Amino acid sequence: MNTIQEMFQVWSMLERMLAFVLLAPLLGGLIAGIDRRVSARFQGRYGPPVLQPFYDVLKLFRKERIIVNRFQNFTMVLFLIFTIFSGALFFAGADLLLTIFSLALAGTFFVLGGFCVGSPYSHLGAEREIIQQVAYEPMVILMAVGMYQVTGSFKVSVIAQYQSPLILYLPGVFAGFLYILTIKFRKSPFDLSMSHHAHQEIVRGMTTEFSGPTLALIEIAHWYENVMLLGMVYLFFAFNPWLGIGIALLTYLFEIFIDMNYARFKWQLTFGSSWLFTAVAGVSNIIVLGLMKI
């Protein structure tokens, strides 16, 4: 009987992983299209069609593949693979820490791709990307630690099934996670290494030397990543699935609002404010939780 139950559990995990691989880019592209339309309305413009991100990616796949350095395409393929792998682990209900470390590895390959070409714009973007990673990673780890303190497990499946609202136990962690999400979504004021907007002062940052199909893969990888990040927001409200989905969508709209109303910070302010917010909101929340269980 136990063997049959384990088989069903494995099959269910594989189904969720497959669903993420197939559906996440569709949802991520749709979110990107809504992002463009809402951003345009904030700026008094009509904006492109909601499906424009899909048109752009298809157009990139039809363009000629121009290679500056053979290694650059290899790193971007690995960036996409490990991003998909991270999201598949997350939605399969696997270990949250493993998911976070896998996503960090994907980001490492992304940085290597920026460094392996000769463009100074790309190198500057890659250096800023490292600064951003150092700025947001502590808060992501604290989020996992906080959820473990409340639920007693790092498994996403256990955390998602916890009956009480995690937000009641982790308000500071949630606030800190919202803060670093602006970096992860590459929104102003933290879009230092690259930007989805044309006004980036270092052209396209670390993706300056990428074009055609490789640039399309980068865009798709970001769609996968954004869906997974919204899934992490959902965990704080997973006791009520519809509330969790609603809060996740409102969070993204909030990030768009922040993007439209703040100018870009310097890297020093980005780094310092992220660590300060992590220390004040995240660490204090973890300490209070620890004292409550003594």
pLDDT digits (tens, 9 = 90+) for 101-152: 999 999 999 988 888 877 788 888 888 889 999 999 999 999 999 999 999 8
Binned at pLDDT 50, 70 and 90, residue 259 comes out as confident
Segment among 25-34, 205-214, 270-279 with least mean pLDDT: 205-214
Binned at pLDDT 50, 70 and 90, residue 252 comes out as very high
**Closest of 83, 58, 205 to residue 197, by C-alpha:** 205
- CA 223 from chain center: how many Å? 9
* Token representation of residue 24: 């996440």
Segment among 55-64, 68-77, 223-232 with least mean pLDDT: 68-77
Q: CB under 8 Å to 231, separation ≥6 — which residues?
A: 87, 90, 91, 248
Segment among 15-29, 38-52, 94-108 with least mean pLDDT: 38-52
pLDDT > 70 fraction of the chain, expressed in percent and rounded? 92
Is residue 235 within 8 A of residue 160, CB to CB? The reply is yes
**Closest of 23, 25, 32 to residue 53, by C-alpha:** 32
pLDDT value at residue 124: 83
Of residues 272 and 201, which shows the higher confidence score?
A: 272
Across-strand partners of 95? 155
Q: Is 95 helix (H, G, I), strand (E, B) or coil?
A: strand
pLDDT value at residue 290: 84
| Residue 46 to residue 37: CA distance in whole angstroms | 7
pLDDT value at residue 200: 53
Residue with tokens 């660490």: 283
pLDDT above 70: residue 237: yes
Across-strand partners of 155? 95
The pTM assigned to this predicted structure is 0.91
**Closest of 255, 113, 233, 68 to residue 167, by C-alpha:** 233
